[in-house]
Structure 1
Amino acid sequence: MSTSMELVVSHRGTQHRLSLLPDDTVALLQTRLEELTSVPPSLQKLLFKGKKPSFEGAETISQAGLKNGARIQMLGSTSEELGRTLAAETEHQRKERILRERALKAPIHVRSSGSSSTSSSQYAFHRIEPLAHLPEPASARALLTRLAHDPAIRHVMQKHHLAVGLLTELAPHEQPHLLGLNVNAGQAIKLRLRTDRYDGFRLYSEVRKVLCHELSHNVWGDHDNNFKEMNSQLNREIAEFERTTAEGTHHLTGTGDAYQPSSELEAEAQTYILCGPPQTLGGTTPTASGDESREDRRRRLLEATMKRLQKEEEELEERCGTATS
């Protein structure tokens, strides 16, 4: 005879204790959770030890890897809450479509004086709009505004004549696999600002990296060599701009025999090194051994940074979308 087991499921700050048998089905667990939380099984997302239990192909709780005393976190909305969210989202999308159509019918006219103020107004983000139906829209707007007015971002947009009609956000539940989306080569750029649980916002530096990636899609649609070169160039110029600004100058100087990087990526990595030791995501700066020469350390940092940048770009490409109509 199987011994009963206790599971503790947390949902929105409330803990639910369930007594089940190891041979009870996963479907029974989900039904019990629906009775307690009103969240249907199709909308339940269970996390065990920070990961999703292996429910695929598992018929019983024990086959899914759950044991007595397991603590599980459940995410998910009730059908009623989801209906309200989708209704608000549909209304928002309708308004966004109307505004977009108006913008297309009344294009921005730029004086031909060639003045810097005209150029500044042309190569910019012409509209900022958070998703009003998501939590803390004011905080989202503040983050979008900070991105739009970031001096380094504005610098590369001016230099490369990049303009964006709408800067807005991606809701995590809309396209969970995407961090960024460029619509019609700059008609709109959508960025993932929020965490998957809607309990906060992603790091500014990470969101800005995605924005830089999406700005490159204003010129190049595919993730080909042309795109990679431009994206690398934008990242390098942003780092150079911030370094020279911090030094109190807006130009770079050097000697004729200075080391010339062999690739755009290496140049970007070298700029990161000049700005400070590279930090790995969720990790620490590589440490130097006591007998390491300055040149060996430079080479090691360069190699480590290039590997990090390549990995980041591969992740961004996997979670980037471009759309045309």
Structure 2
Amino acid sequence: MSSISFTVSFRGQSYPLDLPSDTTLINLQAILHDLTSVPPSNKKLLWKGKKAVGDDTTLIQAGFKDGVRVQMLGSTEQEVGGLKAAEQQHINRVQARTPSSRPRIQPRVTPASSSSLRFRFHKIAPLHHLPNPISAQTLLDKLANDPAILHVMQQHSFSVGLLTELAPHEHPGLLGLNVNSGQEIKLRIRTDRYDGFRLYNDIRKVLCHELAHNVWGDHDENFKQLNSQLNREVAEHGRARAAGTHTLATSTDPYGIYQAPEQEVEAEAWSHVLGGNSSTTSIGGDSRDEMRKRMLEATIKRLQREEEQLEISCGTGHCTDDKDAPTSP
């Protein structure tokens, strides 16, 4: 068997070798280990004309020829041992500075519950033929991820297939529509002139109204009671999130009435909004309780007017020109 003469260079030093052409690379690695103290696991060999190699590949199969120069890269056993020792010393120093009694906090990922995946809006889509669909998408996403809305959806097991919008010119007079008890909910989110978007809280009230249609189709007392409950729970959820807010009375507002969280009065008012008259009575005077009663009655009347308008502007359960509108149950 012929031999191959070549040179291995390592850190400025050359090692001329003359080996049989059937010498395997694993044998070459052992020879270089004896010469340089670099173990096979720590070295890399580079040469011109290199071919696919394995441990049992011979020199001639790997592309070795007479006169080829091989560049070797790697670390000696002594260097590797020194690095491991330095690393262990660093670990020891860190552990010495860290009290052993200190609890180690492991990162924890809380998986989404099955109910949170089920009771939600499964798809959100604006109308892309209308102006500024990106802003419309942002607004719909905000509604779909509103903490208070998600709260009532979990509480009442509401699932909606698609949340989308109503075009003012295509559905004049409508503010909301629930198709097939939650298959789709459509909301009027734009102004009539398409020069902006309606107020967020107004749209959210329409959304609560349409969510109630997931259970009741007609605007009967059952619907009114559930609708009031949903709006009350939304208001109470907002109040709970703002529970850390503090207010101070002033000389012009001695009882702090006008600084009280709006959700508190609105949540209480929704308990009375079932389509009938308010059970509260406005009383003269300026005590805190009397002022609160007047605020409550005014809020109830406002909410009742808004609900009456929403019923008129709701396409669910009514005959409309919308081809997707459901028939009255």
TM range (shorter): 0.5 to 0.7
Q: Which runs of 4+ in 1 moved over 6 A?
A: none
Equivalent residue letter for 1:324: P
Whether 1:231 aligns to 2:227 is yes
| Structural mapping, 1:136-155, within 5 Å | 136-155=132-151
Residue 289 of structure 2 is aligned with which of 279, 295, 299?
A: 295
Cα 1:132–1:302 change in 2 (3 A) is same
Q: Is the 8 A contact 1:172 1:194 kept in 2?
A: yes
Residue of 162, 166, 173 corresponding to 2:158: 162
Provide the secondary structure at the position in 2 that maps to 1:307.
helix
The answer for the alignment partner of 2:83 in structure 1 is: none
What secondary structure is seen at the aligned counterpart in 2 of 1:131?
Answer: coil
Q: Which secondary structure state, in structure 1, belongs to the residue aligned with residue 310 of structure 2?
A: helix
With over 3 angstroms needed to count, the CA separation of the structure-2 counterparts of 1:246 and 1:134, relative to structure 1, is: same
| C-alpha deviation, 1:195, in angstroms | 0.5
After superposition, the Cα gap between the structure-2 partners of 1:182 and 1:121, relative to the gap in structure 1 and judged at 3 Å, is same
* Separation (CA, whole Å) in 1 of partners of 2:286 and 2:166: 46
Question: SS where residue 310 of structure 1 aligns?
Answer: helix
**Do structure 1's residue 176 and structure 2's residue 185 form an aligned pair?**
no
1:167 and 1:133, CA in 2 relative to 1: closer, same or farther beyond 3 A? same
Partner Cα separation in structure 2 for residue 155 and residue 324 of structure 1 = 27
In structure 1, the gaps of 5 or more residues are 1-114, 250-267, 276-287
Q: TM-score, normalised by structure 1?
A: 0.52
The code of the aligned residue for 2:179 comes to V
Does structure 2 conserve the Cα–Cα contact (< 8 Å) formed by 1:165 and 1:187?
yes
1:289-315 CA-to-partner distances (Å, cap 9, x unmatched) read 995112211211111111011000000
Question: Percent identity, aligned pairs only?
Answer: 65
Amino acid at match of 1:203: L
TM-score of the pair, normalised by structure 2: 0.52
**Alpha-carbon distance in structure 2 between the residues aligned to 1:316 and 1:122:** 28
1:269 to partner: Cα distance: 8.8
Give CA deviations for 1:73-129 in whole Å, capped at 9, x if unaligned.
Answer: xxxxxxxxxxxxxxxxxxxxxxxxxxxxxxxxxxxxxxxxxx961100100000011
Q: Does 1:214 pair with 2:210?
A: yes
* Distance in 2 separating the partners of 1:301 and 1:248: 23
Shift of 1:324: 2.1
Aligned to 1:33: none
Aligned-partner Cα distance in 1 for 2:214–2:268: 28
Taking the TM superposition and a 5 Å limit, the aligned residue runs for 1:38-117 are 117=113
Cα distance in 2, alignment partners of residues 269 and 136 from structure 1: 32
For structure 2, which runs of at least 5 residues remain unmatched after alignment? 1-110, 246-261, 270-281, 317-324
Contact in 2 for aligned 1:130/1:169 (Cα 8 Å): yes
Q: Distance in 1 between matches of 2:308 and 2:178?
A: 17
Q: State the one-letter code of the partner of 2:218.
A: D
Q: Which residues of 2 match residues 312-323 of structure 1 at below 5 A?
A: 312-322=306-316, 323=325
